[in-house]
Amino acid sequence: MWSQYLRIRERNGVVAVFHELHPDPIYCSSEQWQCLVSEVTEGTQMLISDLKQHKLIVESLDDDRREFDRVASDLEYKLDQPTILYLMTAQGCNFGCGYCPVPETAKKHGASLLSVEDAIAGIELWQKHLKDVYDSNLQYFVIFYGGEPLLNKETIKASLACLKMKKEMGDLPPNINLMIATNGILADDETIVMCKEYDVMVAVGLDGPKSTNDALRVDSDGNGTFDRTVASIKRLVQNNIRTFVSTSITPFNIDQISEYSSFFSELGIEKFGFNFLKGRMLLRLVGADGVEDYYREASHGVIENARRQSRPGFEYQMEKKQVAFDRRDFYPVDCTCYGNQLVIQPDGQISNCPFYKSWLGHVRNMSDGFRIWNQPIVKEWRKRLPLYHSGEAKAVSGGGCAWSSIELKGDLLAIDDSSQIFSEEVLNELIWSRYDRLKTQAP
């Protein structure tokens, strides 16, 4: 019998048949497919054997259930890995970007700085998490975040020294990557020395060429920031610091992003990643009626940029899904708030998301047994993961952003349309670009 997870796509006389839980398409002609569906003939025997191997033809629905359970258990394993420690060293920011909720949050909760003691307590709590579930095949990250993290260099430095010491003493594993996510303009000589000494990577926010960047990325006095940001990126690159760019897709650059790989490669950075806008700030910029168009246009732009780029994998959002698809390692983690990250907020409060204050307790008052993946909020947020809902692109979707769903729809379990639309478009792209590649390789 057919698996209930069998899905097809058809284009120009070719059918791609794939399993919704782990799409590894089998291609055949539309004619062959029609033959198979209407009656089994000699010529379709090979196709049938392929379909069985891919679990698209099953003995009974029990086979489907077993497959679902296997995929669900793989997913839970992935989500129970605290791959990221976010140290939010500053709540405030020296920028006032037109899409960023941080300045408002700082006004509401105060522009606190993370203390050295709270940062160290965060590292120690993370260390306990790793002791339980450390996997040497994975990469782990400590990310300094904000607000603007470089407003609090003292805590960054002390944290880096602590992490180094713990690594040297064998209390933390070697495969920990360090990163500062910054707007860049406070990256002075002292920062460069610090990045070199501790082997820290830097991700800088930049939304494209000057006029598009400066339309929304302004400092707290309202001045454009492009020139200062680019000068800083160039200095980091010249100093051999691994430098990345995070670029938000805004109404001002959405029609240009398909050219961004070529724009950013000229800056000498290692990679960049597109960022779909989230939450109420997106509503303010595009209005309720403009949200779906924004997601579609942004998805097309990201895909088109990947098609045009000369450096494969240079843009992170597409790379992530392409790699997962090619390695058959589905469910690329999208948002890491489903248990993959421990966030220490600037006031020392623990959260599962940097943008959402979940008030899980103060980092210095936590019991020994606290683990982020066991928190009720994390369990609740996991209910929104695509695996548990209908949707044909679930295997390449990481589930999107619960915080955005709360802000846009008032319901944390509501589908994040941005993630769903992007995943659907990307799945089609991955299926047909693989077909085109196979066709050109065929003798």
Binding stretches for ligand SAM (CB under 6 A): 93, 95, 99-102, 145-146, 148, 181-183, 205, 246, 248, 275, 277-279, 281
Q: Is the dihedral of CA 349, 352, 353, 357 positive or negative?
A: negative
Nearest distance from residue 210's CB to ligand SAM, in Å?
16
Shortest distance in whole angstroms from residue 203 CB to ligand SAM: 7
Ramachandran class of 41: left when φ > 0, alpha when ψ lies in -120 to 50, beta otherwise: beta
CA distances from 59 to 17, 24, 25, 40 (A): 18, 20, 20, 17
Q: Is the Cβ–Cβ distance between 88 and 356 less than 8 Å?
A: no
Q: How far is the CB of 150 from ligand SAM (least distance, A)?
A: 8
Residue closer to ligand SAM by CB (options 84, 277) is 277
Structure tokens of 333?
A: 């983690």
For ligand SAM, the closer CB: 99 or 264: 99
Nearer to ligand SAM, 219 or 304 (CB): 219
Task: Round to whole Å and give the CA distance between 274 and 316.
Answer: 7
Q: Which is nearer to ligand SAM, 3 or 404 (CB)?
A: 404
Q: Which is nearer to ligand SAM, 110 or 312 (CB)?
A: 110
CB of 410 to ligand SAM, least distance (A): 17
Give the nearer residue to ligand SAM in terms of CB position, either 91 or 309.
91
The tokens for 369 are: 């047994």
> Between residues 16 and 181, which has the closer beta carbon with respect to ligand SAM?
181
Shortest Å distance, C-beta 355 to ligand SAM: 8
* Residue among 23 and 205 whose Cβ is closer to ligand SAM: 205
Specify the 3-state DSSP secondary structure of 292.
Answer: helix
- Say if residues 431 and 57 touch (Cβ distance below 8 Å): no
CA 111/CA 92 separation, integer angstroms? 5
Residues present in the chain in total: 443
CB of 241 to ligand SAM, least distance (A): 16
Residue nearest to ligand SAM (CB): 205
CA distance linking residue 278 with residue 416, whole number of Å = 9
Of 203 and 350, CB closest to ligand SAM: 203
Q: How many separate helices (H) and strands (E) can be counted in the chain? A: 16, 11
Helix, strand, coil proportions of the chain in percent (round to 5)? 50, 15, 35
Q: How far is the CB of 296 from ligand SAM (least distance, A)?
A: 17
Task: Supply the minimum distance, in Å, between the C-beta of residue 181 and ligand SAM.
Answer: 5
Q: Residue 392 Cβ, how far from ligand SAM at the closest point, in Å?
A: 26
User: Quick one: 339 exposed, middle or buried, by C-beta within 10 A (0-12, 13-18, 19+)?
Assistant: buried
Rama region for 83: left / alpha / beta (φ>0; ψ in -120 to 50; rest): alpha
